[in-house]
Amino acid sequence: MLKINKAKWAELFAALSAQGTLYLPAEVDGKVDFTVWQDGTEVNLQATQTAKSIKNVFFPQIENLLDFKTDGLKLSVEQRMLPEEDTIAFGVRGCDVCSFEVLDKVFLKEPVDAFYKARREHCTIVSLACSAPDETCFCGTFAIDATNPGGDVTTWLVGDDLFWQANTDKGKELTEKIQALLAEGDEAGVNAQQKATKEIMAKLPLADFKIDPKIPAEQEKVFNSAIWKQLSDSCLSCCACTYVCPTCHCYDVRDFEIDNKVERFRCWDSCMCKDFTKMAAVNPRVSRLERFRQRYMHKLVYFPENNEGTFACVGCGRCLQKCPVSLNIVKVAKALGVAKDV
């Protein structure tokens, strides 16, 4: 176990940013969000969570894929360069680290999404263990250990010291490059913090929130539940939940005409939007109830069915914080009897 004192963090960030574009949580517009580090960035490692997830490092909100050029009857297509930039995602909480595994199951499944893969391979994840969980956190429901969040390197903030442990080859490679800044550290402080944090988590309102893994067998019953109407009636379909969710990955592919070429890009989309499934003749999900149901069935039932029981949720709690009418996956799961409050 290595460590680095607060006094040297500015040097640490400078050294890391020399190895790649460094993303870390910082004060931005009155909120804490992942941003590219520069000299003078107000880094914030105390905030339990960033307002938005860091999925845009691998899956940007807008990604230009290719360009078309027409010349009479001729058409040419040129794929954009795959991202080659090395990046470091620093200060990623356990929930967000696990969200990458959910996204991997989508984008790295055959046929592989080359853009996602390139970004993923070029990124070193430096996670940050939690020590002050919030009431909206429920990563424990998905067996995520917030006190040992994984990633290529795991860090723990204990007092003024940042403890540092490389886990993977990528992590070890990065550690070697900044070795000079790190000193030997004693695990005792880390262990004590992990214990204290787990004790806090046990007191939180969602500590006993469990999602029933046997759901696929009762899929039809859940799908046809009368509860969907009452739940979806209050929903505004604003899609704020989709936007902040680290595992939501639906996207649209659109064309944009500019100058004398056409850019084809991909952008975030939400299954809750009105036109998501609209076709020329018919829209299979024409009502809000159907779209609302689809999002939660996908996260709680269909995705786990296709992915060995992994839910498309990591318990980060952002939807609990952002929904204008306080709807969220916890309420849905409980209302449907999908969840068990032990």
Partner 1 sequence: MQKIAELIKKEAESLLKENKVTAVWAWQPGEFYYDNSPVCFTAPEQLDKLVYNEFCPSNLGKYLMAGSKKNETMAVFAKPCDTYGINQLIKDHRIKRELITVIGIPCSGMIDIKKIKNQGVKGIISVSVSGDDVIVTTAYGDKNFKKSEVLLAKCMSCKGSDYMIADKELGEKMEVKCQKLNPEDGVKKLEAMTSQERFAFWQQELSKCIRCNACRDICPACSCEQCIFDNQEAAVAGKASANTAEEQMFHIIRAYHVAGRCVGCGECARVCPQGIQLGLLNTKFAKDINEFYGKYQPGADDDSKAPLVDYKFDDVEPTISAKGVR
Partner 2 sequence: MCNCGSKDVLTPQIGVVTEIRTETSDVKTFRIEKPEGGKVFDFMPGQCAMLSAPGMGEAIFSITSSPTTKDYMEFSIKRCGEITEYLHAIEVGQQIAIRGPYGKSFPVTTEALKHKDLIFIAGGIGLAPLHSVIDYMLANRDDYGSIDVVYGARSKEDFVDYKELSEVWPKEKNTKVHLTIDKAQEGWTGNVGFVPQFLKDLKFTPDKTVLLCGPPIMIKLCLAALIEMGFAKTQVYTTLEFRMKCGVGKCGRCNVGNKYVCKDGPVFRCDEIDELPDEY
234 binds partner 1 (CB under 8 A): yes
Q: From partner 2, partner 1, none, which one binds at residue 7 (CB under 5 to 8 Å depending on kind)? A: none
The pair of three-digit structure tokens given for residue 21, joined into one six-digit string: 């574009």
Min separation Cβ 245 and partner 2, Å: 13
19 vs 323: CA distance, rounded Å: 37
Residue 23, CA atoms < 13 Å, CB-side half-sphere: 22
Binding-residue total with partner 2 (CB under 8 A): 58
Angle at Cα 122 formed by Cα 114 and Cα 185, nearest 5°?
150
- Binding mask 129-148 toward partner 1 (x if CB under 8 A, else -) reads ---xxxxx------------
Q: Which of residues 235-264 bind partner 2 (CB under 8 A)?
A: 249-255, 257, 262, 264
Strands (E), the chain: 2-5, 21-28, 31-36, 62-71, 74-79, 87-92, 123-128, 153-158, 161-166, 183-184, 209-211, 251-258, 261-268, 339-341
Which long-range contacts (C-beta less than 8 Å, at least 24 apart) are formed by 25-28?
Answer: 25/50, 25/91
177 vs 12: CA distance, rounded Å: 11
Please answer whether residues 96 and 32 qualify as being in contact, where contact means their C-beta atoms are separated by less than 8 angstroms.
Answer: no
Min separation Cβ 68 and partner 2, Å: 4
233 binds partner 2 (CB under 8 A): no
In the complex with partner 2, the residue whose CB is nearer, 34 or 115, is 115
Min separation Cβ 276 and partner 2, Å: 6
Place of tokens 């998501």: 276
Please answer whether residues 219 and 294 qualify as being in contact, where contact means their C-beta atoms are separated by less than 8 angstroms.
Answer: no
Min separation Cβ 333 and partner 1, Å: 11
Q: Where are the alpha helices (DSSP H) in 153-274?
A: 169-177, 187-203, 219-223, 227-233, 240-244
Q: Which stretch binds partner 1 (CB under 8 A): 141-149, 174-182, 183-191, 199-207?
A: 199-207
Q: Which of residues 46-85 bind partner 2 (CB under 8 A)?
A: 65-66, 68, 70, 73-82
Which long-range contacts (C-beta less than 8 Å, at least 24 apart) are formed by 35-38?
Answer: 37/13, 37/90
269 binds partner 1 (CB under 8 A): yes
Angle at Cα 60 formed by Cα 306 and Cα 127, nearest 5°?
75
Question: Which positions ≥6 away from 299 have C-beta within 8 Å?
Answer: 247, 311, 312, 313, 329
Query: Chain-centre distance of CA 309, in angstroms?
Result: 18
Q: From partner 2, partner 1, none, which one binds at residue 170 (CB under 5 to 8 Å depending on kind)? A: none
Q: Which stretch binds partner 2 (CB under 8 A): 136-144, 155-163, 171-179, 218-226?
A: 218-226
Count of residues making up the chain: 342
Q: Which of 71, 84, 275, 308 binds partner 1 (CB under 8 A)?
A: 275
Q: From partner 2, partner 1, none, which one binds at residue 70 (CB under 5 to 8 Å depending on kind)? A: partner 2
- Binding mask 101-140 toward partner 2 (x if CB under 8 A, else -) reads -----xx-x-xxxxx-xx----------------------
279 binds partner 2 (CB under 8 A): yes
The residues binding partner 1 (CB under 8 A) are 29-31, 48, 51, 61-62, 132-136, 200, 203-206, 230, 233-234, 236-240, 243-244, 252, 254, 256, 258, 265, 267-269, 274-275, 320, 322, 324-328, 330-331
The residues binding partner 2 (CB under 8 A) are 65-66, 68, 70, 73-82, 106-107, 109, 111-115, 117-118, 216, 219-220, 223, 249-255, 257, 262, 264, 266, 269, 271, 276-282, 284-285, 290, 294, 297-298, 301-302, 305-306
